[in-house]
Chain A
Amino acid sequence: MRSGELGGAAGAAPPTPQFTGPLYAMNDLLKKYGSEIETVLAKYPVEQKRSAVMPLLYIAQREKMYVSERDMAEIGEILDLDPTEVGSIVGYYTLYYDRPGGTSRIQVCTDLPCALRGADAFAAGLCERLGIQLGETTADGAVTIEAVMCLAACDRAPMFQLQNGSGLKYYENQTVESTLSLIEKLKK
């Protein structure tokens, strides 16, 4: 609610100062996923908790499908890393995103083996039907179609992986039609 809608000064409460500082800066990730984060941390030696940075980034990315700078800082706080060290990881690996894209990402393998089995044509056909270019997101923000490198499913081309908040799933031996109907389902 914008303050203007309150109608006049009488209703506008003064801004309430909040505690900040490390202890009170409530780490949202910890608050939300505390026990899951603990399970992840338990996999690695205590003095090597930096190893947990990749799993924690997947957790941070779950809801918005990208990692915000705040997430980086929070993960840094949990793992005793500088936010820059966390950010570097986001930048290096292709399955993390530092900015919002489609809610779902359809990532078609167009690498050599799949391309030998018609993957380029499949990706082009799909984009044409959706009215977008490779790498773009549909107008409703539902899906981004991207070309990616080999996904170890070369014998079942055309294929793609669907990445969204709930994880990552393979769809193999696809046609443009089967994919379009999946997209329809995703939109619901």
Chain B
Amino acid sequence: MSEANNVTLTIDKQTVRVPAGTLVVDAAKKAGIDIPVFCYHPKMEPVGMCRMCLVEIGRPSKDRETGETVLDEHGDPVIQFGPKLDTGCTIEVSEGMVVRGFTEKVMDARLEMLEFILTSHPLDCPICDKGGECPLQNLTMRYGPGKSRFLLDDKIRLAKQLPLGELIYLDRERCIQCARCTRFQDEIVDDPVIGFFNRGRALEIVTFSDPGFDSYWSGNTTDICPVGALTTVDFRFEARPWELNSAASICNQCPVGCNFTFNTRREAKTGGDFVIKRVMPRQNEAVNEIWICDKGRFSSYHFSEREDRLTQPMIRRDGMLQPASWGEALDFAAGKLEELGSGLVALAGGRLSNEDLFNLKSLAEHLGGKAVLNTHVAGGDIVSRHGFKAGTDLAKLGKGDAVLVIACDLEEEAPIWWLRVKQAAERGARLVVANPRRTKLDASASDTVRYEYGEELSALDRLPERFTEAGSLAIFYGAEGLGLAGSAALAAALADLLSGSGVADGPCSGLVAVHGRPNDQGAWELGLRPAADLAGALAGAKAVYIAAADPAGDGVFEKGDRFVIVQDVLLTPTAELADVVLPASGFMERDGSYTSGERRVQRFYTTLPPPPETRPDFTITAQVAARVGLELEGRHAGRLFAMLAEAVPAFSGLSFNRLAEVEEQWPIVGREDMYYGGTTYANYQGLGAHLVRQADGEDVWAGETRAGEAGAQKRGARDAKNSGLLAVPVTRLYDRGTVISQSNTLAPRLAERHLGVHPETARKHRLLDGQPAHIRAGGREAKLVVRVTEAAPEDVLLVPRSMGLDLDGPSEAAVKSLVKEVA
């Protein structure tokens, strides 16, 4: 906002200069002055409900005739105050305004409002989870009455432990009817699945959705609830906030890279060890603002607590995996690799950090082999040339800008991006959504384009415009119905679209691949590439070194007589086949960095001491490397990152220190201000930094030798059309992937392994909703439950990834109900 749009006002004798349109409470907060609020939240429209923010507001009085400001004998403007107090949360600042927040009248009003609120509020702070970080508690201490004149006998008695579904509990006595939760669900995330019931003092929060409080965002309501009315099922009655330690981390569930904080505590039940008690969002306004989705909150760390964590290296002896010492295991692995010479394939998963991947790739290349990325989304190399760059922030997209989202169910694939794109549209950006079926983002779109699966490229010809007039153009493509070849072709076409628009260098222009894993983009930037034919690549190798991937579980790997090293946290089906198993530490047990899909590199910090016999992936790789004559940094992630930044142009200029830089963010959260932004953690550990955009080049990965793969997939789609049924891979947020499956909290929310079918198609193929069916597609088969849904196009089977049948791309399918028909 330019200086010209600023206004000057006085708040409690302090002169404050803020942009016109700023609300009085925000202006005060910016100046470090507290005006208490309950219902107001800086991320939502003001509603003026709680009346906690009442202050005296005066304005310079104007002469009726001349319109001139009236001056007193000292030549100062005469300030006119209204007879009543005003709500600071609903009134915008104006030039010359005078706000008084600490007069007797105002202090009385605060006391009175608190007394009103406390008439119905239980005094159960000693057992309340919010105690210690509770706005009502804090503000009562500061402004409230010492005791209540309300008769205890008249106190309302209501349900105290009411599950609103499986994730969130409601204490109706504690609710102060501020509507922050219901407004968050409605205004911010467009899931109005909780609401008020009754009216007056009988107002209570209810849900009629099925399942209750059916939203991927529910946990955020517990952060902004200014009392202990809403609590998460995983934390309630678990610990007191002041007993908790915290460590900054990055979510490992999707490419957005939400910043969060792990809260830990030593517990008797783990023999005095630290355990993670909860996950709280950590503010990064350029990434996740102050929110995180429920998948990140409720399922990101549970795998580390598994009883069957790999905690000991193992070597296959006599056909059985047997415990070994680290020395033995490393010697054995390295010896074999040297013995087998070139021909190593290192398969890496995108859950590995930048440092892990860098080391692994160095090792593979040293041995004359190559490092392969295990992913279903291609185009990351194109993204490194056309992706986001320093200064890009989705929050800056608005009027005059454009966003294209294609082949993507954004809320399911990367929830926070869905939110950020929706908000960009609400700020006036033109949003075009192109997808074969309806998704939640359609509701925010200015235009939607429908196409048939396999017709992604021709859909681009039907876009409503070429965006040549846009200020910035952000493009997201995902994995809806696409395999590697399809997404490679789409990414290339989108890069052309972006370049052709002429606005590729707009401040927030860029191409984003909605990858499946947190660091897939990092892997691409570091030079790892997928294999068009992963099964073939693995089958052709003499030795394979698999880290954070499970090709056997995915059905693309057989051991044969290959030498197999597996480095992982759990005994996956692949690990069970290995010759050597190397136990890795989880990401919360070490430090490192991830590169988000927006090409922002962010640090995560050590939260828990690692289980004794586990080591960070980059360390293990370095130790193997040392034994084959390659010197790699294996001890210090920061030092390794510095080397990486030297070696890889995209990372140039970055360092762990640089990534740890912070700056003041708005709204202010944490600190004393819990009543304001909620219990989201302030960010003191780093906002991260963007990679440098790479120059355009020729060597685009397009399925290696099988450059025509996309065409083949398209033909596959067309063949299927003729034969009747096309199965396509789609992504569901709550799938049955390895990490999410370890969480008991989310378990009840995970859908059964299913496939989605249009009602007409179901009828044609005699498929019954909720009943099992046998499906054969893409050379694989599975038994899945049928879900009839109008979201599916006709003659298409929607097959969610990691839900029992993983497809490489659209494939012809045969399906048969497993229910005997009733005559």
Contacts and interface: CB of A to CB of B under 8 A. Distances in A.
B116 interface: no
Given A14-B822, A20-B770, A92 B209 contact: no
Contact of A21 (B199, B209, B769): B769
A81 to B, nearest CB: 8
A39 interface: no
A84 B788 contact: no
B148 interface: no
Nearest to A15: B822
A72 B192 CA distance: 14
Contact of A82 (B192, B759, B788): B192
B interface majority secondary structure: loop
Contacts of B789: 21-22
Interface in A31-72: 69, 72
B557 to A, nearest CB: 37
Nearest to A83: B208
Given A23-B759, A83-B208, A92 B199 contact: yes
B237 interface: no
B765 to A, nearest CB: 13
Contacts of B763: 19
Given A82-B208, A91-B206, A21 B196 contact: no
Contacts of B819: 17
A91 B194 CA distance: 13
A140 to B, nearest CB: 29
Contact of A87 (B191, B208, B787, B788): B208
Contacts of B787: 21
B208 A21 contact: no
Interface string B180-205: 00000000000111111111000000
A21 B785 CA distance: 13
Nearest to B759: A23
Given A14-B822, A84-B208, A92-B198, A22 B771 contact: no
A83 B769 contact: no
B762 A21 contact: yes
A86 interface: yes
Contacts of A73: 208, 210
Interface string B750-787: 00000000010011000011110000000000000001
Nearest to A92: B199
A72 B759 contact: no
Interface residues of A, number: 23
A85 interface: yes
A17 B196 contact: no
Interface string B120-154: 00000000000000000000000000000000000
Nearest to A69: B208
Given A69-B208, A86-B208, A23 B788 contact: yes
A16 B788 CA distance: 17
Contact of B209 (A17, A24, A83): A83
Contacts of B209: 82-84
Contacts of A16: 822
Contacts of B788: 19-24
B770 A87 contact: no
A23 B789 CA distance: 8
B28 to A, nearest CB: 33
B790 interface: yes
Contacts of B822: 14, 16-17
A19 B196 contact: no
A88 interface: yes
Interface in A103-148: none
B759 A21 contact: yes
A19 B192 contact: no
A69 B770 CA distance: 21
A29 B699 CA distance: 60
B196 A92 contact: yes
Contacts of B193: 82, 84
A84 B768 contact: no
Contacts of A21: 759, 762, 769, 787-790
A163 to B, nearest CB: 19
A109 to B, nearest CB: 19
A87 B206 contact: yes
B207 interface: yes
Contact of B196 (A24, A81, A91): A91
Interface-central residue, B195, B198, B208, B209, by most chain A CB under 10 Å: B208
A13 to B, nearest CB: 8
Interface string A1-20: 00000000000001011011
A85 B195 contact: yes
Contacts of A85: 192, 195
B790 A88 contact: no
A137 B95 CA distance: 62
Interface centre among A16, A17, A24, A84 (most CB of B within 10 A): A84
Nearest to B215: A82
Nearest to B786: A21
Contact of B769 (A20, A87, A91): A20
B762 A84 contact: no
B784 to A, nearest CB: 15
Given A23-B759, A83-B209, A84-B207, A17 B771 contact: yes
A33 B207 CA distance: 27
21 contacts: A14-B822, A21-B762, A21-B769, A23-B788, A24-B759, A72-B208, A73-B210, A81-B192, A82-B191, A82-B193, A83-B209, A84-B192, A84-B208, A84-B209, A85-B195, A87-B195, A87-B197, A87-B206, A91-B197, A91-B198, A91-B206
Given A19-B769, A82-B191, A85-B192, 17 more contacts: A14-B822, A17-B770, A19-B768, A21-B787, A22-B759, A23-B759, A24-B759, A72-B208, A81-B192, A83-B209, A84-B193, A84-B194, A87-B195, A88-B195, A88-B197, A91-B197, A92-B198
The 9 A-B residue pairs with the shortest CB-CB distance in the complex, in nearest-first order: A21-B788, A91-B197, A88-B195, A23-B759, A83-B208, A87-B208, A84-B208, A20-B769, A84-B195
Interface of B: 191-199, 206-210, 759, 762-763, 768-771, 787-790, 819, 822
